[in-house]
Structure 1
Amino acid sequence: MTFRLRAAHIDDLEHLYEMAKLTGGGFTNLPADRAALTKKLERADEAFSKTYEELGDDQFTLVLENTETGQVRGTCQLFSQVGQQWPFYSYRLNTLTQHSRELDRTVRAELLSLTTDLEGCSEVGGLFLHPGERAGGLGLLLARSRYLFVAMHRPRFADRILAELRGVIDDRGGSPFWDGVAGRFFGMTFQEADYFNAINGNQFIADLMPKHPVYVAMLGDEAKKVIGVPHPTGRAAMRMLENEGFSFEGYVDIFDGGPTMTARTDQVRSISQAVPGKLSATDLDIGERALVATGTLGTFRSAYGMREIADDGSVAIDALCAETLGVGEGDEVWSVAR
Structure 2
Amino acid sequence: MMSFRIRAAAPGDLQHLYDMAKLTGGGFTNLPPDRKALTAKLERAAAAFGNTEEGAPREVKDELFVLVLEDTTTGEVRGTAQIFTCVGQQWPFYSYRIATLTQHSKELGRTFRAELLNLVTDLEGSSEVGGLFLHPGERAGGLGLLLARSRYLFIAMHRRRFADRILAELRGIIDERGGSPFWDGVAGRFFGMSFQEADYFNAINGNQFIADLMPKHPVYVAMLPEGARQVIGLPHPTGRAAMRMLEEEGFAAEGYVDIFDGGPTMTARTDRVRSIAEARTATVTHVRALEGTGQARRALVATGRLSDYRCAYGELAEDGPDGVVLDPVAAAALGVSAGDTIWHVAR
TM-score normalized by the length of structure 1: 0.99
* Percent of paired sites with the same residue: 72
Q: Does 1:52 align with 2:61?
A: no
Distance 1:157 1:150 in 2: 7
Residues 294-328 of structure 1, C-alpha deviation per residue, up to 9 Å, x if partnerless?
Answer: 00000101000001123411121101000111100
SS at match of 2:210: helix
| CA shift for structure 1 position 33 | 0.2
Indicate how the Cα distance of structure 1 residues 94 and 311 shifts in structure 2: closer, same or farther if over 3 A, else same.
farther
Q: 1:306 aligns with which of 315, 322, 342?
A: 315
Q: Find the counterpart in structure 1 of residue 325 from structure 2.
A: 316
What is the CA deviation profile of residues 138-165 of structure 1, one whole-angstrom value per residue up to 9, with x for unaligned ones?
A: 0000000000000000000000000000
1:76 matched to 2:85: no
Q: Deviations over 1:27-65 (max 9, x none)?
A: 000000000000000000000001111321100000000
Are 1:284 and 1:307, in contact at CA under 8 Å, matched by a contact in 2?
Answer: no
For 2:187, the equivalent position in structure 1 comes to 182
Instruction: Identify which of 245, 248, 252 aligns with 1:243.
Output: 248
Q: CA deviation at 1:94?
A: 1.1
* Aligned residue runs from structure 1 range 25-40, under 5 A: 25-40=26-41
8 Å contact from structure 1 (residues 177, 257) kept in 2? yes
How big is the shift at 1:14?
A: 0.4
Tell me which amino acid in the other structure corresponds to 1:312. Answer: P
Amino acid at match of 1:201: G
* Letter matched to residue 135 of structure 2: H
Aligned ranges 1:259-278 → 2 under 5 Å = 259-278=264-283
Aligned residue pair count:
338
Residue of structure 1 in register with 2:14 after alignment:
13
CA RMSD, 1 decimal: 0.7
Gaps of 5+ in 2: none
Equivalent of 2:159 in 141, 149, 154: 154
Residue 203 of structure 1 and its aligned partner are, at CA, apart by 0.5
Aligned partner of 2:144 in structure 1 is 139
- Partner secondary structure for residue 179 of structure 2: coil
Distance 1:281 1:156 in 2: 32
Moved over 3 A (4+): none
Distance 1:162 1:8 in 2: 22
Amino acid at match of 1:20: A
Structure 1 portions without partners, runs of 5+ = none
Q: Partners of 1:39 and 1:21 in 2: how far apart?
A: 17
Q: 1:204-234 deviations in whole A, cap 9, x for unaligned?
A: 0000000000000001111111100000000
- How far 1:278 sits from its partner (Å)? 1.0
Q: AA paired with 1:229?
A: L
| Residue number among 275, 280, 285 corresponding to 2:285 in the alignment | 280
Cα distance in 2, alignment partners of residues 284 and 315 from structure 1: 12
SS at match of 1:22: coil
After TM superposition, the score normalised by the length of structure 2 is 0.96
Which residue identity does 1:245 align to in structure 2?
G
Q: Does the residue aligned with 1:212 lie in a helix, a strand or coil?
A: coil
Counterpart for residue 110 of structure 2? 105
Q: Match of 2:328, as an amino acid?
A: A
